Chains A and B, each alone.
Chain A
């Protein structure tokens, strides 16, 4: 099926990124269409974040090209761990930061306040606009940064390790939030190393270990062959509730006891 060109948001064409002489991402090709929900998965140092930064435009590929839809608006959500939670800003200030319209006086306008409040209510953060960012729970903190990205009215939401450094409850919140946004038509691209907690729930996974090892649905790519190529170690995959569950110890003595069936 030929997809209309206007639906191609990002197209990576033989992209290679390097720091000095060392290639971190090698000859990567993938296309992301409007409405997709894709995750780049791979071990630490596999080039996930580098590839994401190349898509964001903050790193220039040494070879290849990245084509974007003309006028594509990116909403970027950084890792929670990279945020300075002691910085003196309130939720409202964080959210309106992205709008830098030419105004001689920096005050937040009534219209901006109302628009920000709408986004906050949409994400279940209503009434928190005056709070300092430190005074929020883990899930709320993550959602504030999603709200900031959404306030920028993006065509695509880009998240770097949205579940790293967060607890189980927050991980669930983040996953549900992203699923809801995707259902409402938002395109999402994220990186993760959390195979069971996040990756297995996404419609599309791009498995990256410097180069693309596999690209497809979790059922297609979360298989022992691909995982061994990806992580360089044998891994077992079980099935639970119709979803693949990856065990990261190949000789896990617990496998037999739980009666799990290795795929």
Chain B
């Protein structure tokens, strides 16, 4: 009896700290947001794009930190420029889009690393972008992730059928009057914004996992797109919340714990849902 009260008190202990409350709030929203966008990332086979974008943005984040420039503007511009470059290189059709993403984003990532080595004074904030940090969460981070989460939810709810149609069957959607390229551009913008606002908390190296794990887990649990759209954010948010708490009590990296909790959920569902769920997974040839 006594020990369980102590235990319950210790569970509540981290919430006495402002940094933890802020960190958990941001992680919770970021987990939900990544879960939401992850549905499209997984179903459209865009996981490599998410991976690439986060690496490209890292270069911009590092440069912004070195030059003492606002992170959101600096990394945002950098992300857009990388996206345009990838598009231009891929359009020449001499090399494939995957190779173009590989060249541009890893070069950008390498530049970020070089800056990290050369300019030690900015090291901490660059490292935060690389591995994610909940310690340095500012009010502006909370506002940014909240704004993007609300924006993405509104856009996806309003354009639900068009997003579904152009994801499932782009050719017929185009013929039926859906502007598929516009829907794709909207998804890319939302994905970029998501990476931009969640990267400082989750980290460049782990963000793509948060874009994939909740959605892949949700896919095994349901055969309906509409249900995936709320199950996946729920799994993302729950993983983030649990991961934050586990990280505090085990004194480990919060972003690593968030991904590990998500991966554990994935594993449980994978084995728990049996052959049926695993067959649903077969659709993700790219994972």
Q: Return A86 CB to nearest CB of chain B, in Å.
A: 3
Per-residue interface assignment for chain B, residues 154 to 177, with 1 indicating a CB less than 8 Å from any chain A CB and 0 otherwise: 000110111011011101111111
Range for the number of chain A residues in contact with chain B: 20 to 34
* B171 & A82 in contact (Cβ 8 Å cutoff): yes
Cβ-based interface call for B224 (8 A)? yes
In the docked arrangement, what's the CA distance between A152 and B169, Å?
15
* A76 & B161 in contact (Cβ 8 Å cutoff): no
Chain B residues near A78 (CB, 8 Å)?
169, 171-172
Q: Which of A60-92 contact B (CB under 8 A)?
A: 74, 76, 78, 82-84, 86-90
* B225 & A100 in contact (Cβ 8 Å cutoff): no
* A90 & B169 in contact (Cβ 8 Å cutoff): no
Chain B residues near A36 (CB, 8 Å)?
none
Per-residue interface assignment for chain A, residues 3 to 18, with 1 indicating a CB less than 8 Å from any chain B CB and 0 otherwise: 0000000000000000
* A104 & B43 in contact (Cβ 8 Å cutoff): no
* B175 & A93 in contact (Cβ 8 Å cutoff): no
Of B157, B161, B175, B227, most buried by chain A (CB within 10 Å of CB) is B175
Chain A residues near B174 (CB, 8 Å)?
58
Q: Which of B214-245 contact A (CB under 8 A)?
A: 219, 222-228
Q: Return B228 CB to nearest CB of chain A, in Å.
A: 6
- Number of cross-chain contacts by CB at 8 Å: 72
* A58 & B160 in contact (Cβ 8 Å cutoff): no
Closest to A82 in B: B171
Per-residue interface assignment for chain A, residues 121 to 134, with 1 indicating a CB less than 8 Å from any chain B CB and 0 otherwise: 00000000000100
* A88 & B169 in contact (Cβ 8 Å cutoff): no
Q: Identify which of B165, B168, B175, B280 contacts A57 (C-beta below 8 A).
A: B175
Per-residue interface assignment for chain B, residues 135 to 162, with 1 indicating a CB less than 8 Å from any chain A CB and 0 otherwise: 0000000000000000000000110111
In the docked arrangement, what's the CA distance between A57 and B165, Å?
18
Cβ-based interface call for B95 (8 A)? no
Cβ-based interface call for B273 (8 A)? no
Known: A78-B169, A100-B162. A88 touches B280 (CB 8 A): yes
* A58 & B171 in contact (Cβ 8 Å cutoff): yes
Q: Return B38 CB to nearest CB of chain A, in Å.
A: 13
* A99 & B161 in contact (Cβ 8 Å cutoff): yes
* A100 & B280 in contact (Cβ 8 Å cutoff): no
Number of interface residues of B (CB under 8 A): 31
Cβ-based interface call for B283 (8 A)? yes
Known: A86-B280, A87-B43, A93-B224. A76 touches B164 (CB 8 A): no
Q: Identify which of A74, A86, A100 contacts B175 (C-beta below 8 A).
A: A74
Interface residues of B: mostly helix, strand, loop or mixed? Answer: helix
Cβ-based interface call for A233 (8 A)? no
Cβ-based interface call for B9 (8 A)? no
* A97 & B165 in contact (Cβ 8 Å cutoff): yes
Q: Which B residues form the contact surface with A (CB < 8 A)?
A: 43, 157-158, 160-162, 164-165, 167-169, 171-178, 219, 222-228, 279-280, 282-283
Q: Which A residues form the contact surface with B (CB < 8 A)?
A: 56-58, 74, 76, 78, 82-84, 86-90, 93-94, 96-100, 104-106, 132, 152
Given contacts A82-B171, A106-B226, 12 further A-B contacts (CB under 8 A): A78-B169, A83-B169, A86-B282, A88-B227, A89-B164, A89-B224, A90-B223, A93-B226, A97-B165, A97-B169, A98-B165, A100-B177
A-B contact pairs, 29 of them (CB 8 A): A56-B175, A58-B171, A76-B172, A76-B176, A78-B172, A84-B283, A86-B279, A86-B280, A86-B283, A87-B43, A87-B167, A88-B219, A88-B222, A88-B224, A88-B225, A88-B228, A89-B168, A89-B224, A89-B225, A93-B225, A97-B164, A97-B173, A98-B176, A99-B161, A100-B165, A104-B158, A106-B160, A106-B161, A132-B223
